[in-house]
Structure 1
């Protein structure tokens, strides 16, 4: 059988071109060792592995050339011995090839043993004493609350609200915090009252400009400003030009007879 070098198709002996791809086939010869059919340019026999270059190969069989198709023999190329070892036979099964003894001997020689490696000395570090722990920082002293400025009490910082309660009607009147002087009386053209008593009973005994309550810091003072029937604190008359510092629970009576009376309160 002749194997096509182009498509590896097995062709019968004496074929000029491949039956599958029509490639011109190389000339064949017989192995001088086993008589197997080999290509004329083969270096080793595919059956027994005989070196075809060591002995003179018989003359190749002349191929019959068909008159209608000119045959051009491919140029002879020296094949690689390793490729010839893997060249399949006519049945597509690769045959074992004898390896030269020199190559086997070279491959079977075990490598020389490696010299033993001495273990590296391990450096023993000296025990280094650990540094003493750093002392914890002392806690910062707690800041004492700032003292209230002079003339300002803690009750004022807590938004103390002052009010007067009308005893006869039980009505509460909160003193304005935005005013330093609070006028008590009835409507007039000179000084409008901040606490208007014209709607209370017996208001006819109260003057239009009757009394003032003055705010100084956290202190509240009441004074009569020239009323006709006078101002009484805890049932005692308050002389004009004098003033009285109010304390929670003080009674403020406008006029005689205790008919229009207020109780001073702080909340």
Structure 2
């Protein structure tokens, strides 16, 4: 590990070469991913959470595990944010940003990843929020609404990962061009973030789609049962009226 001191004693800056080269970042990322994955997938009771639809209750045992993994995904995003914050601080300390061109270069290098991390965290948080509200909803109709919104944000979340991969691939073709786009920085995320935000959110959207279909089916059955009961009540009233009329006629 090397120590580099630049400038005078007042503006002394300590740069750790392993952190600058990404070695510490890889170690932290892999270790935290291993710990969080082991914690998320540990054996634990799987309660069945459900939504009442008419006289039926539609339950899902996959939701607790997937929601648990979504919280792990949000922790990984925060971890990537901390690592990128260290990278930004080291860049500022090692490069004097005094001119307009230096500021533009700094923004082009770090802005794509910063905005991506913010967008990933917001979409993931909205997905978890509406998924939780699905099972706290009073009634099947609100449960279906919240589940559809949660499915939408889960779909947006794993589509973001696809767009990030396409963005990184497209940058390679722009490196040879002399433009501002060629100076954009890569969006580097940990392998755990790609796994949890991509694969888990895709599975989450799939589970929500099945849950919505089951819930709508049970709700439809409940509505048909209520309709049949209404028709039976109406027919019973008509029979009672007919019986009353016959009694009146016989009395006369």
TM-score range normalised by the length of the shorter chain: under 0.3
Larger relative contact order (Cα-Cα within 8 Å, sequence gap ≥ 6) = 2
User: TM-score when scaled to structure 2?
Assistant: 0.23
When you count helix as a share of all residues, which structure comes out higher?
Answer: 2
Q: TM-score if structure 1 supplies the norm length?
A: 0.22
